[in-house]
Amino acid sequence: MSVKIDGLALGARVASMSVFLSVLVAASEWALAGERLTGAELAPAPAYDSGTGVPDPAGFFTTEHTAVSYRNVEEILPTRRVAAGPVASPLVREPPRDFRYQFGGATYGVADFAKRTDTTGLLVLKGNHVMFEGYYQGADSADLFMSFSAGKSFVSTLVALALAEGKIHSLEDPIMRYLPELKGSAYETATIKQVLQMASGTSYSEEYEDTNSDIATFAAIVARNEGGLYDFARSFKSKEPPGTRFYYATTNTEVLGALINRVTGKPIAEYMSEKL
């Protein structure tokens, strides 16, 4: 493995970890040996900027920061990495092409589209063939992009896998059979299928143009890193009987995530890495 400590690069085998540990101890001794100014003695200084432009959680959702923050989430909020599985589906990369399209009586290229839509990464697939791959606003192929609600599709897929493995008996089961703490909430009488279909009947509101909407509170909890999104999701009472109508609610996915965790006994990231 390769380690870097206080500017010192060290290559070591696991068998010689004692060398690594001795360097760690030495580094600690260096740190302890120096004299330090007290907080009162330190001169005022502007906030340290590492040069990446990554904001703190308070600026996470602000428009001027989104291009950077959405691909550096693990530097802003606690995250759990989904490790790559042992088998990956191969992709065939096609020769570069100059894609053009017509819009409003004019001809544009992909770069024009990316600029107009504030895009940071664009991948065009046809089957297993990569027809186009491009990155903008400082992004590149090594970046990890925030998936937002694309994650809902992964969560529902994991529910199907847990069903196939017999960890869930039936999608017609009341979800409270597996999550008894949902008692009293909108999910008390909802089936797993109804939650998957975004028809739980929850009174939670997801109106993005309404600053008083529950999705605004949800986003604030994320930005402040307060956690408790599952508790937030199950705090809402029923607005209508489950199965009455489709209403898109992110809280449904939070509850399904808790279901996966409960029936598998594993973090979602771990289960996803194993199965997908």
Considering the domain architecture, whether residues 154 and 123 belong to the same structural domain is answered as no
The answer to the question of residue 69 being in a domain is: no
Name the domain boundary from 81, 111, 135: 135
Residue 73 pLDDT class (50, 70, 90 cuts): confident
> pTM here?
0.73
Highest mean pLDDT among 44-53, 116-125, 155-164: 155-164
Domain that holds residue 115: 92-135
Residue 52 lies in a domain: no
Q: Please check whether residues 269 and 159 belong to one and the same domain.
A: yes
Residue 145 lies in a domain: no
266 and 175 in one domain? yes
166, part of any domain: yes
* Residue 160 lies inside a defined structural domain of this protein: yes
pLDDT tens for each residue of 184-221: 999 999 999 999 999 999 999 999 888 889 998 888 88
155 and 127 assigned to the same domain: no
What pLDDT is stored for residue 14 in this prediction? 37
Residue 232: CB atoms within 10 A of its CB come to 17
Domains: count for the chain: 3
Same domain flag for 108 and 223:
no
23 and 111 co-located in one domain:
no
Question: Looking at the structure, do residues 116 and 205 belong to the same domain, yes or no?
Answer: no
Q: Is residue 123, in this structure, part of any structural domain at all? A: yes
117 in the same domain as 164: no
DSSP 5-22: ETTEEEE--GGGHHHHHH
Judgement on whether residues 208 and 124 belong to the same structural domain of the protein = no
**Is residue 24 situated within a structural domain?**
yes
pLDDT, tens digit, 9 for 90 and up, residues 9-63 = 333 333 334 333 333 444 444 444 466 666 677 666 554 444 456 666 767 777 6
Looking at 84, 104, 135, the residue that finishes a domain is 135
Provide the CATH number for the domain around residue 203.
Answer: 3.40.710.10
Say what percent of the chain tops pLDDT 90: 50
Same domain assignment for residues 179 and 202: yes
State the pLDDT at residue 39: 62
- On whether residue 45 sits in a domain, the answer given is no
Same domain for 181 and 99, yes or no, is no
Shared-domain flag, residues 19 and 119: no
